[in-house]
Structure 1
Amino acid sequence: MWFDTGIYVIVITFLGFWTNNEVIAKENQLEQSILKGFYEDGIPTRCPYRENTTATTHLPHETDCTKFYKCLWGKTFLIDCPLIEGTPIRLHYNRHKQICDWPWSADCVYCPSRNKNGTWPQSKLSHDTQNCSTYYVCINGEKYLRYCPINTCFSRTCQNCVVNRSDGNCDQ
């Protein structure tokens, strides 16, 4: 009798582990499909609904290099980069590193520098905060002026022309 009970316990334990691993695998697949479209070239373009507990997601502000959004469960919270000590000048948000950085290395006003492996990072920069329909595309470290379609504005957050760019919205 004890032997029969032991087999049942082993079978139930095995089924529990097998079912749990299958649930975890399905959750991982769901999370990966949700996160698709949240990143362009490895850089976030919107807040994920489900945050990874080991990393925080940040998004660049639509127009202001000195601001960024901190993501929490799909919502955005506007943050100012700190002042450079002893000056009235703020650091700029670096969307590649997701930190506040020196203005000349933050890739907000200037095209990014060549990577160590010799490739050029893709980037689009705001051209004029008064005229939101123009922006620059950086190709091999050089700026090229581009225009958004009518009734759209360029968003640094989305790296694209969108209808609504407030609060990191990418029209999706």
Structure 2
Amino acid sequence: MWYLLGVLLSFAFLQNSVLSRKLDQRTDAGFPYICSNRNGVTILMPGSCTGFFICVDGNAIASSCGSFYHFNTQTGLCDHPLKANCQVDLSQIKNITSTTNEKKQGTRSSLPKPKTPAEVVADLSIGSICKNLPTGTLLPKPDSCSQYYVCILGRPYRRTCPPMLHFNATRELCQDPTMAKCSIQSKKSTKKEIELINTVATNSKKIRHS
């Protein structure tokens, strides 16, 4: 009897170890083929209700619905958890290969995550500043030093830097204010300012591809 109990415990431990390794492979290796031959679509991240991928020219760019919403597989958008009706299925993980594909130059492997419900929805009040710009492009917010925009499938999504940091439009990252050298004016964005944002984005792309 004790022998049988020992065998069962050993089997349970082995099964748990295998599952843990699968989860580690998912975290470390990613999902290289989930966006194969796909572009401009969003796909739920296996084993998650909040994570999803944006397919850009066959590359999978990781993103998240944040802490407030779940990914709705019917609409391909972040939605209220009751409407999204997401159920995590760990069996999806077993078919994911651990081989990583080569990233294209200028393509980000991950995008800044939303921190508030407002950041989950595209901010269309700024205009079409992300039109024809690649997903992952970061643009400054004219009336803020701590906020910026991330372009996702041609739409601008507002993001916020961590506390005490400012957005550096040239380097496309949050930095110490002395390094970011951000200066703003308390007024609504003008057409000229929006054109300036597009100029910054164009110059940033040139720097990344040089």
Which TM-score bucket, shorter chain as reference?
0.3 to 0.5
Structure with more of its chain in helix, by fraction? 2
Bigger Cα Rg: 1
TM-score by length of 2: 0.30
